[in-house]
Amino acid sequence: METNQPRKIMVVEDDPAMREIVTHKLTANGFEVKQAEDGKKAVDLFAEEKPDLVLLDLMLPEVDGFGVLKYIRGNQDPKLSNTPVIVLSNLWSNKDILSAQALRVQAYMVKAYFTTEEILNKIKEILTQTQSGGLSPKQSAEPQVPDLSTQTVTPS
């Protein structure tokens, strides 16, 4: 018997305003959201809640996002160690992106360049791909980092 329970997203973000904005967008679109404001709580919550996807900031108190990623990928349960992860961070150096890719994130999004609608769409896309077998949780997608040379600012 199949149930139509909402997909569970864990939002790991230390900025309360950002965490609430993203949580509101996700709950308004039918997702169950669990929140963690630091890396230690994220590790504890991940083990307890077993989310379908993790939206993860990298600059966190207690344990940074890379520590959380290492915990997720090191889990003994393959279902948990392959949980899709989207990095949503203001860090966008090549070193950070490559480190996240090495830990098999499905997307790397720079906060300043994406709306909550785009974040929602990326979550839906990844959940659909992993559910249908199109993107294995073991694979890492290309990072979604804007080409700053093509960014234009229009004065208001």
At 66, which CATH number?
3.40.50.2300
Residue 134 pLDDT exceeds 90 = no
Cβ atoms 61, 43 nearer than 8 A: no
Confidence of residue 130 (pLDDT cuts 50, 70, 90): confident
In terms of Cβ atoms closer than 10 Å to its own Cβ (0-12, 13-18, 19+), residue 109 is: buried
107-118 per-position pLDDT tens digit: 999 999 999 999
Check residue 17 and report its DSSP letter: H
Assigned domain for 154 exists: no
Looking at the 3D structure of the chain, how many domains does it have? 1
Mean pLDDT over the full length of the chain:
87
Token pair 């308004």 in the structure block, residue? 28
Assigned domain for 25 exists: yes
Assigned domain for 151 exists: no
Assigned domain for 53 exists: yes
136-153 per-position pLDDT tens digit: 545 555 555 555 444 433
Residue 6 pLDDT exceeds 70 = yes
4-8, 122-126, 147-151 — which one is most confidently predicted on average?
122-126
HSE-up of 55 (CA within 13 Å, CB side)?
33
User: What's residue 1's pLDDT?
Assistant: 40
Assigned domain for 64 exists: yes
59-78 per-position pLDDT tens digit: 999 999 999 999 999 999 99
Assigned domain for 148 exists: no
Assigned domain for 156 exists: no
Check residue 15 and report its DSSP letter: -
Look up the domain containing 18 and give its range. 8-140
User: What's residue 144's pLDDT?
Assistant: 54
Assigned domain for 56 exists: yes
Both tokens of 34, joined, read 């669990």
Residue 40 pLDDT exceeds 80 = yes
